[in-house]
Amino acid sequence: MNSADRKDTYEISDWNFPLCDNGLPEAWYRFEGDAGTRMPTTYVDRRKCGTNFPGWLNGTHPTVADGEVIREVCFSIMFSDYHDCIGHKLIKVKNCSSYYVYKLGGTPGCDLRYCGTDSP
């Protein structure tokens, strides 16, 4: 995943034309290039990452010693000021020493998309 519109700093201006990952085939993915280097671990505002409801990792990234772990991806879908994890999906994450890989699949619906970031 390397497109700039997937990064947590990319904002859409029109609610009617979001990108989404509901048809994403289940596979191992890596964030790189203009998308950033990893999935964010804190709330991402709605309308970022090229979609209405961006996905972020709820928790920490694993260490190399942790091996493959299960983590929760939250989607910022609340229409309020609360930063709760309402829409979510369990994924697998692995630390490959100099980068992370994520076993992702389709999101629970459209307007939901996995985000990338350069922030630790």
Each domain of the chain, given as residue ranges in start order, spans 4-114
CA distance 58 to 71: 7
Q: Is the pLDDT of residue 79 over 70?
A: no
In 3D, which of 28, 31, 25 has the Cα closest to residue 55?
31
Q: Is the pLDDT of residue 80 over 70?
A: no
Selected residue with higher pLDDT from 59 and 30: 30
What are φ and ψ of residue 53, in 5° steps?
A: -130, 90
CA distance 14 to 33: 25
Q: Which helix (H) or strand (E) holds 95?
A: strand 87-95
Side-chain-side CA neighbours of residue 49 (13 Å): 31
Judge residue 92's burial from the number of C-beta atoms within 10 Å of its C-beta, 0-12 exposed, 13-18 middle, 19 or more buried.
middle
The answer to whether the predicted template modeling score (pTM) of the entire model surpasses 0.75 is yes
Q: Which two tokens stand for residue 91?
A: 């994924």
pLDDT range class, residue 18, cuts 50, 70, 90? confident
